[in-house]
């Protein structure tokens, strides 16, 4: 997720813990669009603004239809939870049909409409049947993602024994994508065997 160091934080920083569930905003472009709609723009206007800002691609389908967030949820499940999901195990719904009325109804109820990715397990400590979804959802003031606006990501992981860990950071645009790639290259170089 570009400028948000999710994998390194979870894989290295939470080494030794037992992750049990995850929930968050995995696509910063979509979060930007929904934030713009909360500010009063229509979906086409918000998408156009995201494209002008270099956040959304000319063909935004991967973002706005949820495919990108689904792929990220599958990666998190495999690398962090040790459960590699098949695509059909993740239900998904995009944001293209969201109306200004739905945005306003969420705000009137004291919440925000967000595109939420959820990963949970029926059994303790990440065991049992998996529930995985990416869909629009109204979040309230008990959710750390409520105040995450603009081109930002948020992820909350439940892990034993530490409890709830929240990671929030920037996540869209060419410069942040470049930083993410550079971070990966440095990580690979550090792990490479040194010549003798």
- Which residues are catalytic, by number? 72
Those residues whose C-beta lies under 8 Å from the C-beta of residue 141, and which sit 6 or more positions away, are 110, 111
- Return the closest-CA partner of residue 72 out of 30, 16, 128, 122: 30
Which of 191, 190, 192, 167 shows the shortest CA–CA distance to 2? 167
What is the rounded distance in angstroms from the CA atom of residue 124 to the CA atom of residue 169? 29
Q: What share of the chain is helix, strand, coil (3-state, %, to 5)?
A: 40, 25, 35
Q: 193: phi > 0 → left, psi -120 to 50 → alpha, else beta; which?
A: beta
CA distance 101 to 196: 65
The phi and psi torsions of 44 (rounded to 5 degrees) equal: -60, -40
Question: Helices 28-38 and 43-52, interaxial angle, to 10°?
Answer: 130
């Amino acid at each position: 997720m570009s400028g948000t160091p999710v994998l390194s934080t979870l894989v290295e920083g939470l080494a030794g813990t037992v992750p049990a569930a995850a929930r968050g905003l995995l696509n910063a472009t979509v979060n930007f669009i929904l934030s713009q709609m909360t500010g009063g723009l229509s979906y086409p206007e918000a998408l156009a603004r995201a494209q002008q800002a270099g956040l959304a691609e000319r063909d935004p389908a991967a973002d706005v239809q949820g495919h990108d967030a689904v792929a990220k949820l599958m990666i998190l499940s495999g690398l962090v939870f040790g459960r590699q999901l098949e695509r059909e195990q993740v239900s998904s719904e995009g944001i293209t049909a969201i109306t200004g009325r739905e945005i306003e109804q969420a705000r009137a109820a004291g919440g925000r409409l967000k595109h939420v990715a959820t990963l949970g397990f029926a059994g303790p400590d990440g065991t049992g049947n998996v529930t995985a979804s990416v869909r629009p959802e109204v979040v309230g003031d008990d959710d750390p993602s409520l105040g995450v606006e603009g081109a930002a990501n948020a992820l909350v992981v439940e892990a034993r024994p530490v409890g709830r860990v929240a990671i929030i950071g920037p996540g869209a645009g060419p410069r942040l994508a470049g930083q993410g790639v550079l971070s990966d290259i440095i990580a690979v170089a550090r792990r490479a065997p040194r010549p003798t």
